[in-house]
Amino acid sequence: MTFLTYLISGLALGSVYAIIALGYTMVYGIAKMLNFAHGDIIMVGGYAAFFAFNKFGLSPVVSILASILVCTLLGVIIERLAYKPLRQASSLSVLITAIGVSYFLQNGSQLIFGSDTKIFPAMLMEGSLKLFDGRLMISYLTLFTIFTCVVIMTVLTLFINKTKIGKAMRACAEDKGAAQLMGINVDTTISITFAIGSGLAAVAAILLCSTYPSLSPTLGSMPGIKAFTAAVFGGIGSIPGALLGGLLLGIIENLTKAYISTQLSDAIVFTVLIIVLLIKPTGLLGKKENVKV
Amino acid sequence: MLKVKDLKVRYGMIEAIKGISFEVDDSEIVTLIGANGAGKTTTMHTISGLIKAASGSIELDGRDITKLPAHKIVEMGIAQCPERRRVFAQQSVEDNLFLGAYTRKDKDEIRKDLENVYELFPRLKERSTQMAGTLSGGEQQMLAMGRALMAKPKIMLLDEPSMGLSPLLVREIFDIIKNINSQGVTILLVEQNAKMALSIANRAYVIETGRIVMSGTGEELLNSEDIKKAYLGG
Ligand SMILES: Nc1ncnc2c1ncn2[C@@H]1O[C@H](COP(=O)(O)OP(=O)(O)OP(=O)(O)O)[C@@H](O)[C@H]1O
Ligand SMILES: [Mg+2]
């Protein structure tokens, strides 16, 4: 029974990683860049929900929507101001810029919100589901987190595969020049990608902060790195890969913490990653990059 | 229809197109022939807006399109079937064709044009749900042409459609180009296969290291001694 408890909470943690990993993987797939500031968007999403709920007294649903809106706009603005001018630049310049944006967001929020840790309010459901005469307890938040992840994955997969914009996004991911020859506006497509990824970061922020209710300017770093790892683990650029990588990472992390060592859990998670990448350099579900001509 | 004037294009310090001028009139087939690296693809990319001109101008029906972004140029009526086909390998044949019609909103007309493309290329219809990346080279060429047609262009730019195809298929592709042209689409054709290109072209330009060195009707160039020596193998 305790194993099952760890497994399910690992699944929930993994769901959050998967939602964050989607942002990395979609931006990588379409803009061919690693947006290292993605983790810090999560942090901004956490603060946005905190202020909406605590300071402005908005309802939970409105607070969540406000947080999604703030992150979506922030993602699009960052892309326009920081990354778009570098479209033709080397990937190293873009990477360094992304790290710069990350520091900018962290320091900016330290300046505005202070560096003290704030308690994130319980705006989602409380209580637990009791099964097997109370021997198995699963919090509703855990179930809600997993459910949210399933919904997001389903909707996003349908969006990417069935809608006109989704197909245009996939066309850009494969060949931007050819996509332009179809009349697709690549800049708009990249903006949409950042908007979706950043909006999802806000959702992840609320799930994460509800589970671990403390807010600080560096709150996004660790989940950001873990989710990035998950994206690489599953195969960067692949949406099912982000799901698989995220879930596996969450489960491995939780089981290691429970049965091996809390201190070593991160080390073990990254060891697994390295082993997987040694065996399959493109990640679990990654495809080989198309040869560009 | 299309008027290119004193066009210069550079890649960094290198000037790849050193001032070329040419015209394509309504419902003509015009071909640009030239050796590897002459600047044919660069010219096509510049017309489509993928590369920006350093100077000079490109006009479509009297409107200056030199500075328009690529997706606007497609909307204006210029579609390109690019060198090496560049189909979207991970999307189905039919999705590739619909992407060709991306800028259009006339749903019923798009359906009709899809049927027309399938009539022109029956093999695409048989393979409509197949991933484009798994098509043979010839089928990919047909798909790339069909995809360009789906934009309902006034003028279609074709960059080396015969590349890597068997002689029989090359003939078929050139027949289809003539067919497309007879449906009222103006054609600008770039080819290494000079003989075939000249034989279907109304007019032709010869481009050498970024300059146009000769022009005339298809027939004139086909019979020119210089052209025979340089491009038709003797
Ligand atoms: N992206 C680029 N960067 C730098 N130089 C380039 C680039 N693309 C093309 N060139 C150069 O510009 C010149 C013209 O190239 P282009 O591709 O237009 O030739 P082409 O006539 O299409 O040749 P081919 O018949 O081999 O396709 C060549 O010297 C080429 O090396
Ligand atoms: Mg070429």
What is the value of pTM for the model shown? 0.94
Task: Compute the nearest-CA separation of A290 from chain B (Å).
Answer: 9
B143 band by pLDDT with thresholds 50, 70 and 90: very high
User: Mind listing the pLDDT tens digit for each residue in B155-187?
Assistant: 999 999 999 999 999 999 999 999 999 999 999
Q: How far is the CA of B83 from the centre of ligand 2 (A)?
A: 6
Mean per-residue pLDDT for A78-97? 94
Instruction: Compute the distance between CA of residue B212 and CA of residue B33 in angstroms, rounded to an integer.
Output: 10
Q: What angle do CA A118, A123, A129 make, to 5 degrees?
A: 120
A152 band by pLDDT with thresholds 50, 70 and 90: very high
Percent of chain A at pLDDT exceeding 70: 98
Q: How far is the CA of B3 from the centre of ligand 1 (A)?
A: 22
Name the strand (E) or helix (H) holding A20: helix A2-31
- A261 vs B149, which has greater pLDDT? B149
Residue A285 maps to a domain: no
Q: Please, where in chain B does CATH 3.40.50.300 lie? A: 2-77+153-231
Residue A40 maps to a domain: yes
A288 band by pLDDT with thresholds 50, 70 and 90: low
Q: How far is the CA of B24 from the centre of ligand 1 (A)?
A: 22
Residue A287 maps to a domain: no
| Contact: A181, B82; criterion CB under 8 Å | yes
Rg value, chain B, Cα: 17
Residue A121 maps to a domain: yes
Instruction: Compute the distance between CA of residue A184 and CA of residue B74 in angstroms, rounded to an integer.
Output: 9
Residue A291 maps to a domain: no
Mean per-residue pLDDT for A251-279? 90
Contacts of B227 (CB under 8 A, 6+ apart): B194, B198, B206, B214, B221
> Which residue owns the Cα nearest ligand 1 atom 30?
B37
User: Mind listing the pLDDT tens digit for each residue in A45-64?
Assistant: 999 999 999 999 999 999 99
Mean per-residue pLDDT for B62-83? 98
Number of A to B CB contacts under 8 A, please give it.
67
Nearest to A252 by CA among A235, A274, A237, A236: A274
Instruction: Compute the distance between CA of residue A126 and CA of residue A213 in angstroms, rounded to an integer.
Output: 13
Q: How many domains does chain A have?
A: 1
Contact B96, B147 (CB under 8 A): yes
**Torsional class of B116: left (φ above 0), alpha (ψ -120 to 50), beta (otherwise):** alpha
User: Mind listing the pLDDT tens digit for each residue in B190-220?
Assistant: 998 999 999 999 999 999 999 999 999 999 9
Instruction: Compute the distance between CA of residue A282 and CA of residue B49 in angstroms, rounded to an integer.
Output: 34
pLDDT over threshold 50, residue A202: yes
Residue A272 maps to a domain: yes
- Structure tokens that stand for B29 in this block: 């087939």
Q: Give the domain extent around A235.
A: 2-279
Q: For an interface test with B, give the residue of A181, A186, A288 to mutate (most B CBs within 10 A).
A: A181
Q: For an interface test with A, give the residue of B52, B102, B104 to mutate (most A CBs within 10 A).
A: B102
Amino acid at B35: A
pLDDT of residue A199: 98
Q: How far is CA A145 from CA A60, A125, A139, A240, in A?
A: 15, 11, 10, 18
- Listed in order, strand segments (DSSP E) in B41-101 are 55-60, 63-64, 78-81
CA A239 to chain centre: 12
Residue A290 maps to a domain: no
Mean per-residue pLDDT for A166-174? 97
pLDDT of residue A293: 33
Give the pocket of ligand 1 (CB within 6 Å). B 11, 14, 16, 34, 36-42, 83, 192
Q: Which residue of A has its CA nearest to B73?
A: A183
Residue A133 maps to a domain: yes
- B227 vs B62, which has greater pLDDT? B62
Fold assignment, B2-77+153-231: Rossmann fold (3.40.50)
Name the strand (E) or helix (H) holding B188: strand B186-191
Q: What is the CATH number of the domain that holds A260?
A: 1.10.3470
